[in-house]
Structure 1
Amino acid sequence: MSADHSPSRLDDTAAGLCAFLDASPTPFHACATAAALLESAGFTRLVERDRWPTAPGEYYLIRGGSLIAWRTGRSADPAAPLRIVGAHTDSPGLRIKPNPDLVREGWQQLGVEVYGGPLLASWVDRDLGLAGRIAVRSPDGTGAGTRLLTVDEPLLRVSELAIHLNRGVNTEGLVLNPQLHLAPHWGLGDQPGDLRGFLADRLELARGDVLGWDLMPYDLTPARRIGRDRALIASARLDNQATCYAAVQALIRAADDPSGRHLIALFDHEEVGSVSERGAQSTLLASTLERIVLAAGGDREDLLRALAGTVIASGDMAHATHPNYPDKHEPHHRIAMNGGPVLKINNQLRYATDAVGAAAFELACEQAGVPVQRFVVRSDLPCGSTVGPITSALTGASTVDFGAPTLSMHSIRELCGVADQAMYADALTAFLAPAGS
């Protein structure tokens, strides 16, 4: 098959991704946005505490900021192997503290903690909204539930010190102390701004019914196409919601392979190590796979047989070669924007790719008619990591790490290519539903 790079296909890809990004300021929102796309394609949400259906079908579950979705084909063999695409919903940034209300020098501020490894300087002098998950008292007062909140308006700002008071900033760089310099201001006054009361008003609740929050500021600038030929997309959270969107699209499109078993796993907390009840190091993927096999009439032996033939593609954005810093890249592994999906290889196993996994992904790209690029970090620089090595170790499944070219990774605003996103989804569709399966 040949890849479709027609203007209409690229327009659809860019519009769909930008809409996904704009609707997903937090991992919780990303799961809700993905769920809406899946449900429109016929997927049914399952609850982990319920008994799952035994009939083949299209299902998904959400645990906090993580989502797993799958399709079970008509194969009667519960030990049939799976094709899995992994990604993560979270991005580096700032998170609101539990006791956030501050007053300094007549300014009302909110205390924040750094989440992951963001480029802190990119958060300065931005119009910031506020979004996340709020824990609220149940109507009968005996329990608690959660509500999503999006304050999509210029509420917060972290202001930089004027150059007159920091003369060396352009030669020595902007140095920010996370405790002292990152608290955003959101009002003026000598009394705290009362975040809990603000949230209660927005949710139309009594103040005492707001029990807790997982809240994060976010950049209000919408995702948009840029450049002379509008061949690029600039947005927050491309790392790694671009992969989440491509995975969802690929799972929906893989319906043309009715016999296969396809699954996507979108994990929260990758940026801080994946150790949580819903991170890649949790039981979420393993327990879901076991329940899929059990629902098909299999047992533990069938699960282990299925895993022995399973292949996982772990998707996370990749570093495009930066034109202003070419010396920071491995000279024999240049990565071009809009040059196609990127195989990520590291012999210290920061990426899980080996020859077998690489072959599976290259065959998928060949089937999809898209080119393949290969990334390794310079031998004198440390390498980042992904959920790939974690899922590989926990499942024993052959795993490959891949990505789409990106600039400004971990900035509040990153950059990717429109054609790359179309090729990304094409490659993942072919990976989930390989020819001859």
Structure 2
Amino acid sequence: MQDQQLQDLADFIASSPTPFHATTTLRERLIAAGFEALNEREDWQLKAGGRYLVSRNDSSIIAFQLGAEGALASRGLRLIGAHTDSPCLRVKPQPEKDQQGLWQLGVEIYGGALLAPWFDRDLSLAGRVTFRRADGALESRLIDFQRPIAVIPNLAIHLNRGVNDGQAINPQTDMPPLLAHSLEAGRDLRALLAAQLQQQHPDCTDVAVLDYELSFYDTQPPAQIGLEGDFFSAARLDNLLSCHAGLQALLNSDGEQPCLLVCTDHEEIGSASCCGADGPFLEDVLRRLVPDDAERIQLIQRSLLVSADNAHAVHPNFAMKHDENHGPKLNAGPVIKINSNQRYATNSETAAFFRHLCASADVPVQAFVVRSDMGCGSTIGPITASRLGVRTVDIGAPTFAMHSIRELAGSRDPGYLITVLTAFYNSAQLI
């Protein structure tokens, strides 16, 4: 079962190089399982026991099942939240560079990326492209070159003797990827995108590319590694691992309880967007589920959110970066994340509930508190809790190398997370 779950996670990550592709993958899997797609521009006719999904900006998605008649009002919602975006290199609007006979693209750093691991990797390009057809109609489609088309070569140590002494990386001058020789006149990114559109979507002929949102990504596939397969290595584990676990839990659930999965974009840059956790997407959906204000407040106060986002495992080479009593280990189960300054939204009641849930599901559980002399990251948990007033527990699978081009998790932890999140969706009683 573990190998099957890891392979499914690997397939999910490989098909999701951008938030747009992750949302499409989630949508396709949900529809295949019988969920009905809703359109925010239309009226919704929801039925007891129904299973539905809705997406916004092609990069965020909410899926929910209503449970039995009257269950929503009486039992509350079991919500799981994650995010679809990861730190990466985004292509600028006018990116073409012709330097030393080589064609490069200027990039902007999206989120808090570890830059050094991006050098000397086989990179591809994917994202959303908006274009005009010959009849004047505007349309957007997703593209993915899939094959390695770019690289950011390191400067040889002979020309950069101080590189191993902590030399800074300049994102403006050091990071533009190299794609080709520029000997041929008229190299143009939009023409390249138009050709790729036609190749992937044969109906997209005679189009003018107007704009795009494109990200470079590493083409190395996910892998189970280690002498005995103890580890799982992949790009974008933060936070596609949680998106996948939430999806699998929803698909595995018995359908008796009202459940909701929300996977939003832009967490890595603050979530402040129309489709981010600090935007109105989730609130808009809840208003359509329960139009009456008083009834909706009652529903929210009966509900609980599990904010699932990866946690920092204690690194054997840098153990001093953790509080000595709060160093989560790989393959030791999900981590409850706690911060007195509300960088995480966990409180004693929600932490106790999650501990009880793990014990009931025979899943080990850990805790993380940042060192008192270090700053703390955050998640969608505090944002969603403050916008909705919903009780929240912040948890996540322990990982190494968070925000690197390639991250590392324990091979048993994805299964642990799916098990406890499935138990959460099936839980008859919330706190």
TM-score by length of 2: 0.95
Aligned to 1:74, which of 68, 75, 81? 68
Judge conservation of contact 1:71–1:262 (CA < 8 Å) in 2: yes
Judge conservation of contact 1:121–1:174 (CA < 8 Å) in 2: no
Q: Please state if 1:264 is matched with 2:261.
A: yes
Q: What's the offset of the Cα at 1:105?
A: 1.6
Per-residue Cα deviation, 1:263-286 (whole angstroms, up to 9, x for no partner): 010010000000111000110000
1:93 equivalent in structure 2: 88
Q: Extract unaligned runs of 5+ from structure 1.
A: 1-8
Amino acid corresponding to residue 102 of structure 2 in structure 1: W
2:31 equivalent in structure 1: 39
Q: What's the offset of the Cα at 1:340?
A: 0.3
CA distance in structure 2 between the partners assigned to 1:414 and 1:110 by the alignment: 25
CA distance in structure 2 between the partners assigned to 1:288 and 1:244 by the alignment: 19
Q: Give % identity.
A: 45
Per-residue Cα deviation, 1:71-128 (whole angstroms, up to 9, x for no partner): 0011325533111000000000110001111111211100100000110001011110
Judge conservation of contact 2:133–2:207 (CA < 8 Å) in 1: no
Judge conservation of contact 1:103–1:192 (CA < 8 Å) in 2: no
CA distance in structure 2 between the partners assigned to 1:283 and 1:311 by the alignment: 18
Aligned to 1:195, which of 184, 189, 199? 189
CA distance in structure 2 between the partners assigned to 1:331 and 1:140 by the alignment: 65
Q: Secondary structure at the match of 1:48?
A: coil
Aligned to 1:275, which of 266, 272, 279? 272
2:15 equivalent in structure 1: 23
1:135 equivalent in structure 2: 130
Where in structure 2 are the equivalents of 1:16-415 lying within 5 Å? 16-56=8-48, 57-64=50-57, 65-76=59-70, 79-80=73-74, 81-138=76-133, 140-141=135-136, 143-170=137-164, 172-189=165-182, 191=185, 193-204=187-198, 205=204, 209-254=208-253, 256-258=254-256, 260-294=257-291, 299-415=292-408
CA distance in structure 2 between the partners assigned to 1:174 and 1:43 by the alignment: 51
Q: What's the offset of the Cα at 1:193?
A: 2.7
CA distance in structure 2 between the partners assigned to 1:134 and 1:270 by the alignment: 22
Q: Secondary structure at the match of 1:154?
A: coil
Judge conservation of contact 1:102–1:192 (CA < 8 Å) in 2: no
Judge conservation of contact 2:72–2:258 (CA < 8 Å) in 1: no
CA distance in structure 2 between the partners assigned to 1:409 and 1:114 by the alignment: 16
TM-score by length of 1: 0.94
Q: 1:385 to 1:152 in 2, by over 3 A?
A: same
Q: Secondary structure at the match of 1:153?
A: coil
Amino acid corresponding to residue 282 of structure 2 in structure 1: L
Judge conservation of contact 2:224–2:232 (CA < 8 Å) in 1: yes
Aligned to 1:417, which of 410, 418, 421? 410
Q: Which moved more, 1:188-197 or 1:94-103?
A: 188-197
Amino acid corresponding to residue 359 of structure 1 in structure 2: A
CA distance in structure 1 between the partners assigned to 2:155 and 2:352 by the alignment: 51
Q: Which moved more, 1:369-378 or 1:50-59?
A: 50-59
Q: Extract unaligned runs of 5+ from structure 2.
A: 199-203
CA distance in structure 1 between the partners assigned to 2:216 and 2:276 by the alignment: 21
Judge conservation of contact 1:345–1:374 (CA < 8 Å) in 2: yes
Judge conservation of contact 2:134–2:207 (CA < 8 Å) in 1: no
Q: Which moved more, 1:79-88 or 1:386-395?
A: 79-88
Alignment RMSD (CA, Å): 1.4
Per-residue Cα deviation, 1:168-225 (whole angstroms, up to 9, x for no partner): 112x124211111100110112556311000001112567521111100000000011
Judge conservation of contact 1:187–1:193 (CA < 8 Å) in 2: no
Amino acid corresponding to residue 140 of structure 2 in structure 1: T
